[in-house]
Structure 1
């Protein structure tokens, strides 16, 4: 049977986050992905441009300058779990969320997918930070308009250089089906073998 490849993508959905931990020895680990329902849009621009090194009167060498991605994730409503685990808002004993300027925000992996005409395209950005969302709203007029919330996301490389991964036309079925069970992380050996191919 001939392989069927996607021709188009559409419909952002299935956003998840997984807390990132980097041990003192540099070992990277992730928590179990947690759903972030209500994905509206994502717009992330590549951060960093190639730079030329000039010698002998020419561009002698091109320096790769991949600094990850930066942009916005728009949600219907930021879930309380994200606010407490990533943005480090604290629930007091009365169940009120408190924002404290003295806490450090957590890093996380961001997982999401797009529909395709043949198969969903699943993504993970490994090392993300989110800025606090603004406060915005307006009164109802003749019709009700849903007010969304936006997180500004900055995704930077891990120490091993990994920025992101996404499923392709020939992704292993188990990896594809388990995408939201745990954060997919290739081993260095697998990555090096892929570079040699």
Structure 2
């Protein structure tokens, strides 16, 4: 039975992208980012029309991924050092260096559903530095969250994202957070179904 609704983001992980000397891409092990509050990613790129012979002759696909915000209770120190490239000095103080290049990563997360959680992966993400903000306590305390802006772009092979479906293999579903899922060839899937 398929999900009818989705709600509640949870189980957010990141997996650093490792680029080898020959430019091949692999992913590190997923690392938990506890305290997910919200995620809102808008699609980037709209189909563009090419006109010829007085009609819309061809529609150009322009999928440039997604961009938006990931809000967490607090950004984990591991994300700050591995992805945002803040450096811990000898006293374990995190230092932000303007000359450091931030890292790329896959972002994994899930939404609760009325039947089964829907698991997602965005393959090629970058993140902005979060704002530094807080405010004074008044009559009651209000938790201050941290937000990073995420840019999810297509990988060189064109993959942008993947998500589990109603018929996802149970072992793939169970192992979602053990390693970044990479699609099997579409032809193999068609042979299994046919």
Q: TM-score, normalised by structure 2?
A: 0.95
- What secondary structure does 1:84 align onto? helix
Shift of 1:109: 0.1
User: What does residue 155 of structure 2 align with?
Assistant: 158
* Residue in structure 1 matching 2:186, options 177, 181, 191: 191
* Residue in structure 1 matching 2:17, options 16, 20, 23: 20
> How many residue pairs get matched?
192
Shift of 1:28: 1.8
* Residue in structure 2 matching 1:179, options 169, 176, 189: 176
Unaligned runs of 5+ in 1: none
Q: TM-score, normalised by structure 1?
A: 0.94
* Residue in structure 1 matching 2:127, options 126, 130, 139: 130
Structure 1 pair 192–159 and aligned structure 2 pair: CA distance change class (3 A): farther
User: What does residue 59 of structure 1 align with?
Assistant: 56
User: What does residue 29 of structure 1 align with?
Assistant: 26
Unaligned runs of 5+ in 2: none
Deviation string, structure 1 residues 85-121 (Cα, Å, up to 9, x no partner): 0000001111111000001000000000000000000
Question: What is the RMSD of the two structures over their aligned residues, measured on CA atoms?
Answer: 1.4
User: What does residue 11 of structure 1 align with?
Assistant: 8
User: What does residue 96 of structure 2 align with?
Assistant: 99
Shift of 1:191: 3.0
Distance, in Å, in 1 between the alignment partners of 2:43 and 2:179 is: 25
- What secondary structure does 2:171 align onto? helix
- What secondary structure does 2:57 align onto? strand
- What secondary structure does 1:114 align onto? strand
- What secondary structure does 2:173 align onto? helix
Shift of 1:26: 3.8
Distance, in Å, in 2 between the alignment partners of 1:148 and 1:108 is: 22
